Amino acid sequence: MSILVDESTRVIVQGITGRDGSFHTQKMLEYGTKVVGGVTPGKGGQEVHGVPVFDSVREAVEATGANTSAIYVPAQFAKSALLEAADAPLRLVVCITEGIPTLDALTAYEALTANGIRLIGPNCPGITSPTKCKVGIMPGHIHKPGRVGVISRSGTLTYEIVSGLTEAGIGQSTCIGIGGDPIIGSRFTSLLPLFEADPETDAVVIVGEIGGQDEVVAAQYIKEKMTKKVVAFIAGLTAPPGKRMGHAGALVGGEDETAASKIEKLEAAGIPVARVPSEVPKLLLNGFGR
């Protein structure tokens, strides 16, 4: 089983005629994702990799029955694209675009949420349910179907963790890169319940980093609500104070936002924490067998 996306997911790509939108549309199609339409205002009637292009999200959804949108538009147009998606009958929006102003992201998040649409991102690699569907930019070949969920604030660390799981023979149910910006649509605590409820997910890996309180909040949630095994990795043990590391949200604003403090709180909640990514499979296998 999987969460959020599967074989029935029907995807439209906002920004499909751009460089990134076109490239990743092809990769999603090659993976087997049902990309049924694209949106670029003023370019309706064209095709990209055999996918029809429409002038608006609503037109695309009505013509194709899409339920999910992937957004690859430049940052200056992202707010408009997100608000347009919020006004369409979708259930999931995956925003890959980075560099979106915080206020724009907040406005879009509130509009999507008000209409019952889940947002993944922005500034994220997307979501993959191995062999079923991938929406975003994750490399498809690193995934293996199985029973471990992955939720990550990092992009490239998502790939490293997933690749390490696959090499260790540990398959994944669904892998989600939630993004590292201050304003994101889905956090650890909004996705953990979905994995807890999934009968075909046995364990979950959370990948965090410096900055913010998401991992601390997640630790308490896991301690109180999760019956399935959760292991973690927190990047940034050597990050210097006051230095932003990669993401806009990866900035230590206080002593409790450091990697060391987060690791301490996770372990105090009974959650095993890997010190390097290669330790994650070992922590998962401990107590489960191969």
pLDDT at 48: 98
Note whether 192 and 256 are same-domain residues.
Answer: yes
* Whole-prediction pTM: 0.93
pLDDT in tens, 30-74: 999 999 999 999 999 999 999 999 999 999 999 999 999 999 999
pLDDT at 39: 98
Domain count, the chain: 2
CATH number of the domain residue 92 falls in: 3.40.50.720
pLDDT at 125 over 90: yes
In whole angstroms, what is the distance from residue 11 CA to residue 41 CA?
A: 17
Contacts of 244 (CB under 8 A, 6+ apart): 250, 251
Residue 127 lies in a domain: no
Q: What percent of the chain is predicted at pLDDT more than 90?
A: 85
Give the domain range for residue 152: 139-285
Q: Which residues are catalytic?
A: 247
Residue 130 lies in a domain: no
Interaxial angle between packed helices 214-225 and 259-268, expressed in degrees from 0 to 180 and rounded to the nearest 10: 10
pLDDT at 239: 56
Contact by Cβ (8 Å): 135, 5: yes
Contact by Cβ (8 Å): 77, 21: no
Residue 2 lies in a domain: no
Note whether 99 and 178 are same-domain residues.
Answer: no
pLDDT at 249 over 50: no
pLDDT at 211: 83
Note whether 79 and 175 are same-domain residues.
Answer: no
Q: What is the mean pLDDT of residues 107-115?
A: 98
CATH number of the domain residue 147 falls in: 3.40.50.261
